[in-house]
Amino acid sequence: MLTINADNHPLFGLMQQVGEEKRMPVILSEADYGAWLDASPEKSMEFMRQFPAEVLAMTPDPLQSTDPKSTRKKART
């Protein structure tokens, strides 16, 4: 998975711990799939950009399990 800096992204900038670099995956629009697959290494760098926040949705993680047998990791505090 390719990631890029997201320190100033309206959604992904909220996700990591304070003080850590914010990262987001490179997301391609469906219209860019063919161009991405055919791109030279130099041309492929044009796709390394933040995906618009307006077309993404973010929902909070459900409450963490309090069951000690749960395999789900507890949120860092």
Convert the pLDDT of each residue in 1-11 to its tens digit.
999 999 999 99
| pLDDT tens column, 32-44 | 999 999 999 999 9
Domains of the chain: total: 1
| 8 A C-beta contact, residue 11 and residue 18 | no
Instruction: Tell me whether residue 27 is in a domain.
Output: yes
Domain membership flag for residue 11: yes
The answer to whether residue 68 is domain-embedded is: no
Determine, yes or no, domain membership for 46. yes
Q: In terms of residue numbers, what domain contains 24? A: 3-55
For the cut 70, the answer to whether the pLDDT of residue 58 exceeds it is: yes
For residue 23, tell me if it sits in a domain: yes
Is residue 63 a part of any domain in this protein? no
Does the residue 22 lie in any domain? yes
Q: Could you tell me if residue 71 is inside a domain? A: no
Residue with tokens 């789900």: 72
Full-model pTM: 0.67
